[in-house]
């Protein structure tokens, strides 16, 4: 599997991924497009760019990369003056987790699965801000003016939730719902195939209307 991401500036993105240990595997160029395949430990990321650049919304989570020695990578990023936000030691990353932004503004998470012998026990976890995909999505909605919609999920007796909706969810059956963060969390965990919907995607209705037009 090769993960592909469209970038606005391949040179800037290449420099970013090289800080994370990726190295060039192959590359190519045409009149209106370019691509660069990078690899690290058997994993591949393909950077692609077009001219004019595609208008891609910033993603609340683009990639999650694991490292054996997260502190070493954080050191390299620090020297390059990349802003690094520590998000604590969640159960899936006992050696630590940090958040960085790629040159296009997408969130990239870096984690270390197990605590190294030389790392002091994590004592900061209650205080440190935990990364939450839902909170990131809610922040994107908020940055675009927010919403006045109320959460559309009722309790088991049909009573409305009463909280302001913060994210929009969708599923493969085509249903969408605006929900508060607590109910969004419940749906994402409970309903298979549900996902955080983007407000920007024009969707299938737009595609069909263009065909008719
Ligand atoms: Zn709710």
Query: For the segment 145-194, what is each residue's pLDDT rounded down to a tens digit?
Result: 888 899 999 888 888 898 999 899 999 888 999 999 888 888 887 888 88
Q: Can you tell me which residue has the tokens 């802003």?
A: 83
| Angle in degrees, CA 22, 25, 30, rounded to 5 | 115
Compute the distance from residue 135 Cα to the ligand 1 centre, in Å.
14
Cα distances from 76 to residues 44, 62, 100, in angstroms, run 20, 20, 13
pLDDT score for 127: 46
- As residues whose CB is below 5 A from the ion ligand 1, the structure lists 151, 153, 161, 163, 180, 183
Compute the distance from residue 155 Cα to the ligand 1 centre, in Å.
8
Compute the distance from residue 127 Cα to the ligand 1 centre, in Å.
26
Q: Can you tell me which residue has the tokens 């910033």?
A: 58
Q: Write out 13-33 in H/E/C secondary structure.
A: HHHHHHHCCCEEEEEEECCCE
Compute the distance from residue 188 Cα to the ligand 1 centre, in Å.
13
Cα(175)–Cα(152) distance, rounded to whole angstroms? 12
């Amino acid at each position: 599997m090769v993960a592909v991401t469209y970038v606005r500036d391949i040179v800037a993105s290449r420099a970013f991924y090289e800080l994370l240990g990726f190295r060039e595997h192959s590359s190519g160029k045409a009149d209106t497009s370019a691509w660069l395949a990078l690899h690290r430990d058997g994993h591949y990321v393909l950077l692609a760019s077009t001219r004019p650049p595609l208008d891609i919304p910033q993603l609340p989570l683009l990639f999650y990369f694991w490292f054996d020695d997260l502190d070493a990578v954080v050191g390299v990023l620090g020297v390059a003056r990349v802003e690094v936000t520590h998000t604590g030691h969640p159960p899936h990353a006992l050696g630590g987790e940090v958040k960085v932004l790629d040159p296009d503004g997408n969130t990239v998470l870096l984690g270390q699965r197990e605590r190294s012998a030389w790392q002091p026990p994590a004592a900061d976890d209650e205080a440190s801000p935990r990364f939450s995909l839902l909170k990131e999505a809610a922040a994107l909605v908020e940055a675009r003016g927010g919403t006045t919609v109320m959460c559309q999920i009722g309790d088991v007796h049909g009573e409305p939730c009463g909280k302001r909706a913060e994210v929009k969810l969708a599923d493969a059956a085509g249903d969408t719902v605006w929900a508060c963060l607590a109910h969004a969390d419940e749906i994402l965990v409970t309903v298979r195939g549900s996902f955080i919907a983007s407000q920007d995607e024009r969707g299938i209705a737009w595609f069909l209307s263009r065909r008719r037009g």
